[in-house]
Every structure is written in C-alpha cells, then in structure tokens.
Structure 1
C-alpha cells in the first residue's frame, strides 16, 4: 500500500507493558501501518511507561504516533493528538491545535456532523475523521451514514479523511472505495497476538484489493 488508502491503527491499551508491546510489535510486522493512535481503556488513564514503550516501537518503524485527547502528547514523545468525538469537539480541537503547536499532528473525529467536520477542517486540522460512537445502537445504519460522509468529504475537501470504528474488512474496503485516505483498525492489548495480527492482515488485504482494482 505505497499509495492510496492506508491503515490507521487504533490501539487501545488495556494491559501491562510486556503484553502491550508484544501485541503491537507483532502487528507492525504483519502489515504496513501509516499511523498509530494510542488511547487508554475505558475509565483508565495513560500509563506513561507503557505509552513511551509503545511510541518507541512504532517510531522505530517510521510510524507517526498520536495520543487520544492528550494535548501535551509531546511530553511523552508522541507526534500528535487525536481529539475524540463529543458534542464540543470543535472547541476541544481548537484548544488542542493551539496548545500542540504547528509542528504536531492534530486531527479530530467529527462524528456524523458535516458542519463540525467543515469547522475542524477550516481550523487547520491535519485530518478529519468520521467514527461511530460506542453508544450508537443501529451500527448498520451508522455505517451507511459514515460511508456517505466519507464520500462527500473526499469529493469536496483536500484535508485527508480517516474512517474510524470500522466493523470488519468488508467495510474497510467499502470506505476505501468511498474515498477514505485512512481506514482505522481497532486492536486492544486484550487481543491475543494471533487475534490482533489476523484482524490487521484482513483489513490490509481488503485495502490492497481496493488498490488493485483502481
């Protein structure tokens, strides 16, 4: 995948350093990864030692690392900040952009709102993401709406587009066909090495198949 849609790895850290590093190292040997988003498990805080270990593994592979909702990401050696979706995402993005500075990568998940996506893009975002929040019950309808948003954005705007919360490899390919620049695959440290690598491999093969038919 030297060009076209690339994998954006959403890595949820829920385990200790040793297991987290083992899973991430295996993933990075499985498929080309464009960027890595690290976020803590639900209700947890970042563990600095674990995060620094993961950042080191990824950056040695030339992968940009983003931290979820941590405007001081530079303090841990990360390359940027990802602002997760919430009703006040635009305001939070602007604060993150100002705090992080121009040298850091800063993007945000606009959810399903076109207006918020445009405001984020106009506020100097490095990318705009469209995800599906965990509380959404009708995942099928939300996935269709996500496809529409990605297609609209890719046709109108030059700011790169990321699709997050992608259910499976088939949806990954659909989003690539719709124009997503990056497609996220979510892994947690609770996944075994075999589970994590199989999931990443499936998404990577789906995106490669997309490139083959372009």
Structure 2
C-alpha cells in the first residue's frame, strides 16, 4: 500500500456492487485502495471481480482481492488481502509464494500482536487490525483495536490498517490513533458526499494528532 503521510480510505466492497455508485464513492472519498470481497454467500470469480479491478486501476487506486492470491495474479490486481484466520502466518507465506514481491500482500491479524509482528518480519506490506466475526463483545473489541493501532503506529514502520470500521466516529478516532488506512465497507447508508466528508474528517483527525506529537 505504500507509506502515506495522511491516513487514506480503503473502500471494501462486494464484487456484486453497482459499478457506477462505486465509482462515485471512490472519487468522492479520494480512496487509496479498493478491497474486493466475495460478499455474503457468494464467491469471487474473474468475471465478477475484473470490472472492479479495472475501475479502480483506471483511477490509480490499488485493487486488492480478498483471500485469493491466484485470482489476484490472474486479474493483474495490485495484490491480495488475507482476512483473519488462525493460521494467518501460513496463509501469508502461501500468498507471497504465489505473488512474489511485486504484488501487495497484507493481512488482517484480528487482535494478535504476535501475528502482526510475525507477518511484518516476513515482509507483509501492511498489518491490519480488525474485529473477527466470531467476537461477541464488539465494543470491547473496538477498544482493543484502537489500542493496537496506537501501539503499532508508535513502534513500527510497516503501515497499519484499521478494519471493520463501521462509523465515522470510529474512523476519526482510529485516524487520530495512527492508522495509515481506514477500511470501511461500501454501504447504502453513506452517499458519495458523506464519503467526501468522511475523508476530510479523517485527515483533520490525523493533523490534530501530528500537531500534538
């Protein structure tokens, strides 16, 4: 994903997303990355993912495929994002073997400091901290994510990404804590203008953090 001075938005979308609306959101939010996921009950295929990869890359936005390094390579996407799993270290190694060093390979390590440090040591392009779906205490997990982002940003140079961000308030808090990228799922509740405002809020939160540093 590269190193950025200001945190940037990573828009997460299902491959079935309306391309026109997605384009409007990407432009409004000045997004840096598009993460293409399978969506509920579906599977990523070349036919469904290719149009979105092309849509992003035409805008100089990095296109990542969720969980399928072979598909990312076949589509000439910019890389692969590995969702949280208990064997993330092994999955990272497999993805890197498929894609080599020219592609982005990063992962959501959930709430594990150990996994984050391990994949970073092995060359991951970013470490992501999210809230695994099985976690019942969502509020507690969100607080833990914020703590991990703050810890990571103070110590490590490898970029960190905040995943499973659901509200504007969470996004700005994570940006203020030091997240390099804020990953938010494209949802019907936010219009393009609201994504533009969100991007502005994230930048302002980061600027305030830098001023206090």
TM-score, with normalisation over the residues of structure 2?
0.90
Name 1:143's counterpart in structure 2: 142
Q: Does 1:115 align with 2:117?
A: no
Aligned residues: 205
Q: CA contact under 8 A between 1:66 and 1:80: conserved in structure 2?
A: yes
Name 2:65's counterpart in structure 1: 67
Name 1:13's counterpart in structure 2: 15
- How far did 1:185 drift? 1.1
Structure 1 residues 7-46: Cα deviation after superposition (integer angstroms, max 9, x where no partner): 111112345xxxx211211112212111111011123111
Name 2:195's counterpart in structure 1: 200
Greater CA drift, 44-53 or 163-172: 44-53
Q: Which runs of 5+ in 2 are unaligned?
A: none
Name 1:154's counterpart in structure 2: 153
Q: CA contact under 8 A between 1:153 and 1:161: conserved in structure 2?
A: yes
Q: Which runs of 5+ in 1 are unaligned?
A: none
Q: What secondary structure is seen at the aligned counterpart in 2 of 1:164?
A: strand
State the alpha-carbon separation in 1 of the partners of residues 191 and 122 from structure 2.
35
The structure-2 alpha-carbon separation of the partners of 1:12 and 1:202, relative to structure 1 and needing over 3 Å to count, comes to farther
Q: CA contact under 8 A between 1:12 and 1:40: conserved in structure 2?
A: yes
Q: Does 1:32 align with 2:33?
A: no
Name 2:126's counterpart in structure 1: 127
Q: CA contact under 8 A between 2:13 and 2:35: conserved in structure 1?
A: yes
The structure-2 alpha-carbon separation of the partners of 1:70 and 1:112, relative to structure 1 and needing over 3 Å to count, comes to same
Name 1:181's counterpart in structure 2: 180
Q: What secondary structure is seen at the aligned counterpart in 1 of 2:11?
A: strand
The structure-2 alpha-carbon separation of the partners of 1:3 and 1:136, relative to structure 1 and needing over 3 Å to count, comes to same
The structure-2 alpha-carbon separation of the partners of 1:153 and 1:212, relative to structure 1 and needing over 3 Å to count, comes to closer
Q: What secondary structure is seen at the aligned counterpart in 2 of 1:149?
A: helix
Name 2:84's counterpart in structure 1: 85
- How far did 1:155 drift? 1.0
State the alpha-carbon separation in 1 of the partners of residues 166 and 179 from structure 2.
15
Greater CA drift, 57-66 or 20-29: 20-29
Name 1:76's counterpart in structure 2: 75
RMSD: 1.7
Q: CA contact under 8 A between 2:15 and 2:37: conserved in structure 1?
A: yes
Q: CA contact under 8 A between 2:35 and 2:64: conserved in structure 1?
A: yes
The structure-2 alpha-carbon separation of the partners of 1:212 and 1:113, relative to structure 1 and needing over 3 Å to count, comes to closer
State the alpha-carbon separation in 2 of the partners of residues 40 and 199 from structure 1.
25
